[in-house]
Amino acid sequence: MTLSWYLVLAAILFTIGAVGVLVRRNAIVVFMCVELMLNSVNLTLVTFARANGTVDGQIMAFFVMVVAAAEVVVGLAIIMSIYRTRRSASVDDANLLKY
């Protein structure tokens, strides 16, 4: 087994997350799929850090985690305020921004 298996696994999980973003209609589940994509990128970063023999990749993954946490907090707050006005968490119902 070589390190490229980690990268292949991360690519597959990234794809599953991307397909989930396209397919699912519940805004919270879409957010979870985005989280999965961020995580698989983190796995790639950690794997390359190991291959290169430096810790820089791990620090980049660390920053990705921090940004993901901030993104989740704001995103969930937006979903909640949309749900309050529209009684729905579906991404199809929140289409009034275009008018």
Nearer to another protein, 22 or 96 (CB): 22
Token output for 98: 């275009």
Question: Per the structure block, which two tokens stand in for 13?
Answer: 């999980």
Question: Does residue number 23 form part of the binding site for another protein (CB under 8 A)?
Answer: yes
User: Any alpha helices (H) in the chain, and if so which ranges?
Assistant: 4-23, 27-52, 56-86
Report the residue from 41, 84, 85, 96 that binds another protein according to the rule CB under 8 A. 84
Q: Which tokens sit at 77?
A: 């707050």
Task: Please tell me whether residue 86 binds another protein under the rule CB under 8 A.
Answer: no
Q: Which of 41, 81, 94, 96 binds another protein (CB under 8 A)?
A: 81
**Count of positions (residues) in the chain:** 99
Quick one: angle between helices 4-23 and 27-52, nearest 10? 160
Q: Which CB, 1 or 96, lies closer to another protein?
A: 1
**Shortest reach from residue 48's CB to another protein, in Å:** 8
Q: Does 68 bind another protein (CB under 8 A)?
A: yes
Contacting residue, 41, 55, 96, 99, with another protein by CB under 8 A:
55
Apex 24 CA angle, 22 and 26, nearest 5? 130
